[in-house]
Copies of this chain bind each other. A is one copy, B any other.
Amino acid sequence: MKSPTWIRVVMLGGATAAASAAVLAKSPLQSPAPSEHAPAYTADGLLLVPADYREWIFLSAGLDMNYSEKADISGMSMFGNVFVNPEAYRAFRETGTWPDNTQLVLENRNASSKGSINKHGKYQTVETMGVEVHVKDTARFDGGWAFFASDDGIAPAQKFPATASCYACHRDHAAVDTTFVQFYPTLLPLAVKKATLSERYVRDEASPPVAHP
């Protein structure tokens, strides 16, 4: 019997499927020493995408989230899955904020509607669409944090320059320490309890929503 198309895609579809398999093959889900999840860089300052981030702590997933008033008309539909290294998660539970060496990984993944027996709504497919990492490394970055992106989620990730809009947006609107804890439903109650929400965030949430460019 001829293999159905989707099986050939999964088996031979190149970077994405092969990379997923490589990620899975590389990390044996042992209990690593904390230093194993510290950010690592190439000599020229690129960030190595953590090979085992799919085994880190899941914080939340969104679909086609967009902070701009204007709707996205690209026609693309993507889930964003967010993971954090276990050491940082443990620290957040204790303190309501992030320690040095925190890495928040946003994995973008294709959203499909009709496939197998699914008829409505959206599910995630094997096609990834890049990875972004938000890294806290106070010895390395002005402001303590930096954003990186890898188009295929495999190649070392390039740093966004400090002038990129992500920095200003996170500084101005993030619930905790420049991170969007308002979208991480198990962490938000902890930040409330530990009183680690930013003053500006609390004030903005108490007022009608502000326009965002």
Interface residues, chain A, CB within 8 Å of chain B? 1-4, 6-7, 10-11, 17, 20-21, 23-25, 28-29, 31, 54-55, 57-58, 60-69, 71-72, 79, 81, 83, 86, 89-90, 93, 109, 111, 114-126, 169, 173, 175, 180, 182-183, 185-186, 188-190, 192-193, 202-203, 205-206, 209-210, 212
Contact = CB atoms under 8 A, between A and B. Distances in A.
Nearest to A210: B117
Which of A25, A57, A83, A119 has the most chain B CB atoms inside 10 A of its CB?
Answer: A119
What secondary structure prevails in chain A residues at the interface with B? mixed
A122 B65 contact: yes
Given A57-B55, A125-B185, A183-B118, A190 B24 contact: yes
Given A7-B192, A20-B189, A29-B89, 16 more contacts: A4-B202, A4-B205, A6-B205, A7-B202, A10-B188, A21-B193, A24-B93, A29-B57, A62-B121, A63-B79, A63-B111, A65-B121, A65-B122, A116-B182, A116-B209, A118-B183
